[in-house]
């Protein structure tokens, strides 16, 4: 069986939903489609929640009206008949529930992550109904399924972790019988269900992850991630206009790229595919016949394949004078970061100065003020010196085989030095799949361009025609998204 995930940028209008439905219908059955909300809708839902919490009722009503109008315009494109009436009623129910949930937020004066997850789920739920109805209108039996009944998670609202066993059981009980009836399942991406049944989300961009979780639960033969670019590119095309398609990646390479911020894949997407060895393909709905990127166990070459940049990080250093205290201090640091649900992007230790270095996500953490005082609190029994730098970016150059050549790291650092980019920390990952360098954020774009140019840009590229076609496709994608 095949699982296809259709991203928000590919379902921005009913015309685009129809094109995506045709792509899905062209795949062999059994097949499940995982859908995101139409692009922009998740942000609008979050905006409405914030407006509700701050008492801005006028702003909230206007935001809700924009969401409802967008969905109704799409609904209007469905052919008249009982199926459309039924779909319209179900979408109206979702909009009514949205307003009730926003009223709860307004009363509480607080936009809790629990309510936020319930509210943002509206976008994916509406899209699953629209996509299923579109498939049926084209003559393909289809049924929408809300993933809060399928993807089992913990209760970490906003960034829930999946429960694989519960997901497998629920997928067998709910999704498989629909597939066995010969129908296409259209499941909401992004959302899951906590043990008590409340709706959770897997973090922004989480629909990619939903697709591989469902694929693993159903032992899919392939998971396809359909988006607005013709596969994983050698860099973010918005930052590096010369970026080119990467035809093949090993699981570890794709994982490193996603971990270090390549938005095309949610950071945890690849993990469920690894254990069952399920190939993942990244393809473009704007160019469905392009080969895209195939992610499989083995890496196809020993070249550096892609570079990526992750911004808004905090660089934390903890100097511990007594060697024997090092592991105790490290455990206190990790404990505090874990309690605060802060992602650690990189951790390293230099023994000579007893220095521990951490790169952590800063956006939700309140910056150095908060992190330093929090660490002073948990490290009060140690004689430590804490250093903290904000606005840090990490550059990663990914490619199995290339990254483990010692020369490659020095070449990378040499390029940064030539470009006048200061390096705050650097590391050759133990897995030897990625080389990373932490740099001040203001040098991020310059550093990325220079590294891409050095390792990838100078290689002979595909035909000029192919590149021209890709830039045309990408500019179309930008207009629609």
Residues that bind ligand ADP (CB under 6 A): 7-10, 36, 205, 227-229, 232-233, 235-238, 262-264, 306, 308
Instruction: For 399-473, list the strands marked E by DSSP.
Output: 425-428, 434-440
Closest CB to ligand ADP among residues 148, 245: 245
End-to-end CA distance of the chain: 29
Residue where the block lists tokens 């991020």? 444
Closest CB to Mg ion among residues 203, 288: 203
Closest CB to ligand ASP among residues 207, 389: 207
Angle CA(128)–CA(134)–CA(139) in degrees, nearest 5?
Answer: 130
CB of 290 to ligand ADP, least distance (A): 13
Binding partner of 9, given Mg ion, ligand ASP, ligand ADP, none, CB within 5-8 angstroms per partner class: ligand ADP
Provide CB contacts within 8 A for 277, sequence distance 6+: 297
Is the CB of residue 218 less than 8 Å from the CB of residue 150? Answer: no
Binding partner of 194, given ligand ADP, ligand ASP, Mg ion, none, CB within 5-8 angstroms per partner class: none
| Residues 433, 435, 441, 444, CA torsion sign | negative
CB of 44 to ligand ASP, least distance (A): 10
Q: Is the bond preceding residue 123 a cis peptide, omega within 30 degrees?
A: no
Binding partner of 306, given ligand ADP, ligand ASP, Mg ion, none, CB within 5-8 angstroms per partner class: ligand ADP
CB of 208 to Mg ion, least distance (A): 6
Provide CB contacts within 8 A for 213, sequence distance 6+: 151, 162, 164, 167, 272
In the bound state, the residue with its beta carbon closest to Mg ion is: 205
Number of other residues whose CB lies within 10 A of the CB of residue 454: 19
Is the CB of residue 387 less than 8 Å from the CB of residue 316? Answer: yes
Is the CB of residue 251 less than 8 Å from the CB of residue 279? Answer: no
> How many residues bind to ligand ASP according to rule CB under 6 A?
11
Residue 244: exposed, middle, or buried by beta-carbon count in 10 A (0-12, 13-18, 19+)?
buried
Per CB under 6 A, 37 contacts ligand ASP: yes
Binders in 188-207 for ligand ASP, by CB under 6 A: 189-190, 204-207
Binders in 8-27 for ligand ASP, by CB under 6 A: 8
Beta strand 31-35 with 280-284: parallel, antiparallel or unpaired? unpaired
Closest CB to ligand ADP among residues 40, 328: 40
The tokens for 2 are 């095949």
Closest CB to Mg ion among residues 205, 457: 205
Residue from 30, 205, 231, 399 that binds Mg ion (CB under 5 A)? 205
CB of 202 to ligand ADP, least distance (A): 13
CB of 462 to ligand ASP, least distance (A): 29
Provide CB contacts within 8 A for 366, sequence distance 6+: none
Closest CB to ligand ASP among residues 8, 261: 8
Closest CB to ligand ADP among residues 21, 356: 21
Binding partner of 232, given ligand ASP, Mg ion, ligand ADP, none, CB within 5-8 angstroms per partner class: ligand ADP
CB of 256 to ligand ADP, least distance (A): 12
Closest CB to ligand ADP among residues 49, 230: 230
Beta strand 31-35 with 191-193: parallel, antiparallel or unpaired? unpaired
Is the CB of residue 316 less than 8 Å from the CB of residue 358? Answer: yes
Per CB under 5 A, 261 contacts Mg ion: no
Closest CB to ligand ADP among residues 166, 263: 263
Q: Which residues bind ligand ASP (CB under 6 A)?
A: 8, 36-37, 42, 123, 189-190, 204-207
Q: Which residues bind Mg ion (CB under 5 A)?
A: 205
């Amino acid at each position: 069986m095949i699982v296809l995930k259709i991203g928000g940028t590919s379902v921005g209008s009913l015309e685009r939903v129809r094109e995506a439905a045709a792509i899905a219908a062209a795949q062999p059955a059994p097949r499940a489609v995982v859908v995101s909300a139409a692009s922009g809708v998740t942000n609008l839902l979050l905006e409405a929640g914030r407006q509700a919490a701050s008492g801005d009722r006028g702003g909230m009503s206007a935001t809700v009206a924009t969401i409802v109008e967008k969905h109704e315009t799409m609904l209007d494109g469905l052919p008249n008949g009982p199926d459309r009436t039924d779909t319209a009623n179900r979408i109206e129910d979702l909009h009514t529930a949205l307003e009730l949930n926003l009223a709860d937020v307004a009363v509480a004066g607080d936009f809790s992550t629990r309510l936020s997850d319930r509210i943002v789920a509206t976008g994916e739920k509406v899209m699953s109904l629209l996509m299923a109805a579109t498939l049926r209108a084209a003559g393909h039996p289809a049924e929408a399924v809300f993933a809060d009944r399928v993807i089992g998670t913990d209760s970490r609202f906003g960034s829930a972790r999946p429960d694989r066993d519960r997901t497998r059981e629920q997928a067998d009980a709910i999704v498989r019988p629909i597939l066995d009836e010969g129908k296409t399942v259209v499941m909401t991406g992004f959302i899951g269900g906590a043990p008590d049944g409340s709706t959770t989300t897997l973090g922004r961009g989480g629909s990619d992850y939903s697709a591989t979780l469902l694929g693993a639960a159903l032992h899919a033969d392939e998971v396809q991630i359909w988006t607005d670019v013709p596969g994983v590119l050698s860099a973010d095309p918005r930052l590096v206009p010369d970026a080119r398609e990467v035809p093949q990646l090993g699981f570890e390479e794709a994982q490193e790229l996603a971990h270090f911020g390549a938005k095309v894949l949610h950071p945890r997407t690849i993990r469920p595919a690894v254990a069952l060895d399920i190939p993942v393909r990244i393809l473009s709905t704007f160019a469905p016949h392009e080969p895209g990127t195939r992610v499989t166990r083995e890496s196809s070459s020993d070249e550096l394949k892609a570079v990526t940049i992750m911004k808004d990080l905090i660089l934390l250093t903890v100097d511990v004078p007594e060697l024997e205290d090092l592991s105790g201090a490290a455990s206190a640091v990790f404990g505090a970061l874990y309690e605060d649900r802060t992602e650690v992007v990189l951790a390293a230790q230099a023994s000579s100065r007893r220095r521990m270095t951490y790169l952590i996500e800063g956006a939700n953490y309140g910056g150095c003020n908060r992190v330093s005082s929090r660490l002073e609190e948990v490290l009060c029994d140690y004689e430590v010196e804490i250093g903290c730098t904000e606005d840090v970016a990490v550059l990663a150059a990914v490619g199995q085989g290339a990254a483990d050549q010692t020369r490659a790291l020095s070449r990378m650092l040499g390029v940064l030095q030539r470009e006048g980019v200061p390096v705050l920390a650097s590391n050759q990952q133990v897995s030897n799949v990625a080389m990373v360098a932490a740099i001040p954020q203001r040098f991020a774009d310059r550093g990325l361009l220079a590294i891409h140019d050095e390792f990838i840009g100078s290689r002979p590229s595909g035909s000029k025609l192919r590149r021209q076609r890709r830039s045309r496709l990408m500019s179309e994608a930008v207009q629609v998204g």
